[in-house]
Structure formats: structure tokens, C-alpha cells
């Protein structure tokens, strides 16, 4: 049944092709999509038992599942949880605090650079 439908679609599409510039003179381009294997994604059963058939429903079902699976473990120390939550919500998590540097240290590092490298960085 499916092969007959694909075959009739292919025949219908090929019958409209012409040997002019609009079809790029190529039947290969028209048939390559039909030759590719079709990836069938089956429907998913949601938590409430209904089937998720559309892409949006499937994405929602996955999001609900991942939200359920990756919930943090409960803790008995609420003060520690508050400290961790405030740390995670603070900006610049990946930036480590900079240590104080003296101007003479920077000047020493610049003088230690090779002359060619110094000229390349200035230009």
C-alpha cells in the first residue's frame, strides 16, 4: 500500500518534469528525495496515557520526562541549599576572582616578551 502511494507520487511528479531550465534538466534531482530511506518516528505515550503524535507533543513529552528524571535530590540542610541556590543564580559563575597585580609586574612581563612579539602586539 505504501509503495503504491510512493510510486504514484513519483509518477505524478516525474510527469510534470520538462527538459528546460526550470527543472535543471535533471531527473536525478527529482528522484533523489524518493530514494532516501524514510525515518519513521513512532508516537510516544505520555505520562497521562495519551499518545503524542505531533512534533510539539513529542517535544513536550520529552521535556516533561527530563524534568521528572533530573530533579535534584532533597536535602535536610536548608541553609546549605540556600547558599548553593544563591551561588548558582549569581552572575559571572565562570569568572574567577582576579588577584591584585602591581604595575611593575605588568611592566616586567612586557619587557620579558621577545621584541618581534612586542611589535606584533602593538601594531
Q: CB count, 10 Å around CB of 23?
A: 13
The domain ranges of the chain are 1-32, 41-72
Residue 33: enclosing H or E segment and its boundaries?
A: helix 27-35
Can you tell me the distance from the alpha carbon of 83 to that of 97, in angstroms, rounded to the nearest whole number? 18
Residues 85-97: b if buried by 16+ CB within 10 A, e if exposed: eeeeeeeeeeeee
Assign 10 a pLDDT band (cuts: 50, 70, 90): low
CA nearest to 10, candidates 38, 40, 35, 37 = 35
In terms of pLDDT, which residue wins out, 117 or 28?
A: 28
Q: What is the pLDDT of residues 18-56, one digit of tens each?
A: 656 666 656 666 666 667 787 777 888 888 888 988 889
Q: Residue 44 forms beta bridges with which residues?
A: 52
3-state secondary structure of 51: strand
Gap between the Cα atoms of 80 and 77, Å rounded: 6
Q: What is the mean pLDDT of the chain?
A: 77
CA distance 29 to 110: 60
Q: For residue 123, what pLDDT is reported? A: 46
pLDDT of residue 14 exceeding 60: yes
Amino acid at each position: 500500500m505504501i509503495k503504491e502511494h510512493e510510486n504514484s507520487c513519483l509518477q505524478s511528479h516525474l510527469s510534470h518534469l520538462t527538459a528546460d531550465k526550470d527543472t535543471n534538466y535533471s531527473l536525478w534531482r527529482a528522484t533523489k528525495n524518493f530514494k532516501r530511506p524514510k525515518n519513521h518516528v513512532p508516537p510516544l505515550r505520555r505520562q497521562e496515557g495519551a499518545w503524542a503524535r505531533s512534533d510539539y507533543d513529542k517535544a513536550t513529552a520529552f521535556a516533561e520526562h527530563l524534568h521528572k528524571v533530573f530533579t535534584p535530590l532533597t536535602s535536610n540542610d536548608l541553609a546549605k541549599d540556600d547558599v548553593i541556590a544563591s551561588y548558582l543564580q549569581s552572575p559571572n559563575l565562570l569568572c574567577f576572582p582576579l588577584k591584585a597585580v602591581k604595575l611593575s609586574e605588568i611592566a616586567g612581563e612586557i619587557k620579558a616578551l621577545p621584541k618581534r612579539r612586542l611589535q606584533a602586539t602593538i601594531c
